[in-house]
Amino acid sequence: MRILMIGAGGVGSAAAKLLVERDFFDALVIADYDADRAAASAQAATARRPGESRVSSAQIDASSAEAVTALAREHGITHVFNAVDPIFNMPVFDGAFAAGADYLDMAMSLSYKHPDKPFEECGVKLGDAQFAKAKEWEGAGRLALIGIGVEPGLSDVFARYAADHLFSEIDEFGTRDGANLVVRDEQGNEIFAPSFSMWTTIEECLNPPVIWEKDRGWFTTAPFSEPEVFDFPEGIGPVECVNVEHEEVLLMPRFLDCKRATFKYGLGDEFINILKVLHTLGLDSTEKVQVKGVQVSPRDVVAAVLPDPATVGPQMTGKTCAGVYVTGKGKDGQPRATYLYHVVDNEVTMRDYDTQCVVWQTAINPVVALELLATGVWNGKGVLGPEAFDAVPFLDLLGGDYNSAWGMDERGLGCAGHSNDRVDAGRTGVADGRRAQHRASTRGDPRGDH
């Protein structure tokens, strides 16, 4: 496997550090518009393993499909790994196809609001542009694995695992993301510093959220709608979550049977208010305006003046949690509610990888997927989401060789904030996790009255 990773920001650089610890690939080319940043990312990755010689760097314009194709051909690339903002998805996606390479990304092609009913009906949905080319990829015998970060990505793997091994009937896949992360300045004061790409955060939080229901299909609602308090595990605690546009809702119903799919994100009042102000002032716009003779996108300016998410790790404390809350009927036909999740502590990722936890948590999942593709454990053709693949090898590898545990909470139906039993399935492997989960279910009724 010869990998071209486009994007040397926080997630790309974290992925490179994870990749050099593995032996499944022959070459990794790290490319970025900023050649110096690409070189620095390659150097930081190479330094983690004495004698490492598989990593190189290059300059690229990700907005040019032709540039992607040329660089991929130059290096004999077999897999293009897209680690840039999703505004560049289609040029990278098309460039990989033209080069004869397979493709992975962590966020799907952009959506566009319905022109007349933006908060009721979908316009162009996330991933539509990519799925429209599925037959071309399938006909060429090639794979585009889209949405394989943490959310989307690991959450979708959890959904597949739940459908295969935990539930006989699924009412809702409810992806829930929350954290207790705090960033402080040198004086110890809390400051506003997004832990992920501000460009992407604005895109997904201010677009109309999408919900899927079996009897309605996909439809939209107003941003920040349907607030709920969700109790996140491992000390994070209750966080208010709201509807946000996200890929899981567009992926899970394509591959898995359920009655409803939602995504809710724990943003907090301060962040929501900031986003509303940006929107009111037009600073969320991607349309360029002229400022003193210079054409500039307001959103690009906002992203540029805020701290780089890749650099805030030393000032950050706390944990982040990604997961999917699944409700329905268990394999025994009885009502069941289970939260499958992955928690990452910033202290640990800073200590081990000099990388803040949110970008590290995103980066590890495409690396695991690349290894499964390289070894032939995962294979497929066309444009596919993570749900199209067996979840067990992924979860076993994540919690085993990659030493990043995942867990399951059995919860009372109608009481998402309560945890009856926690099962740490990650480090013992999926098979042992299933046995442990069965024991937990027999110790306490996960359908308790609340």
Mean pLDDT for 359-368 is: 96
435 vs 131: CA distance, rounded Å: 37
pLDDT at 425 over 70: no
Say what the alpha-carbon torsion angle 260, 266, 270, 275 is, to the nearest 10 degrees. Answer: -50
pLDDT, tens only, 326-341: 999 999 999 999 999 9
pLDDT at 369 over 90: yes
Pick from 172, 144, 394: nearest CA to 264: 172
* pLDDT at site 446: 25
Q: DSSP label at 413? A: T
363 token code pair? 């980066």
pLDDT at 438 over 80: no
pTM of the model: 0.86
Banded model confidence at residue 276, pLDDT cuts 50, 70, 90: confident
- The mean pLDDT of the chain is 87
pLDDT, tens only, 2-21: 999 999 999 999 999 999 99
Q: Read out DSSP for 122-159?
A: -SBPTTHHHHTTHHHHHHTT-EEE---BTTTBHHHHHH
* Domains located in the chain, CATH noted: 2-104 (3.40.50.720), 154-360+391-443 (3.30.360.10)
* pLDDT at site 193: 59
Q: Evaluate whether 24 touches 371 at the Cβ level (below 8 Å).
A: yes
171 token code pair? 């009412």
* pLDDT at site 149: 95
Of 42-46, 72-76, 301-305, the poorest mean pLDDT is in 301-305
pLDDT at 435 over 60: no
Number of Cβ atoms within 10 Å of the Cβ of 326: 26
Tell me how far apart the terminal alpha carbons of the chain are, to the nearest angstrom.
51
Enumerate residues 6+ apart whose C-beta is below 8 A from 396.
Answer: 429, 430
Calculate helix-pair angle for 10-19, 357-374, nearest 10 degrees.
Answer: 50
Beta-strand relationship, 210-213 and 217-220 = antiparallel
User: 3-state class of 296 per DSSP?
Assistant: strand
pLDDT at 429 over 80: no
* pLDDT at site 279: 81
Enumerate residues 6+ apart whose C-beta is below 8 A from 416.
Answer: 174, 176, 228, 230, 231, 325, 337, 339
User: 3-state class of 333 per DSSP?
Assistant: coil
Banded model confidence at residue 450, pLDDT cuts 50, 70, 90: very low
Of 12-21, 190-199, 218-227, the poorest mean pLDDT is in 190-199
Mean pLDDT for 185-192 is: 69
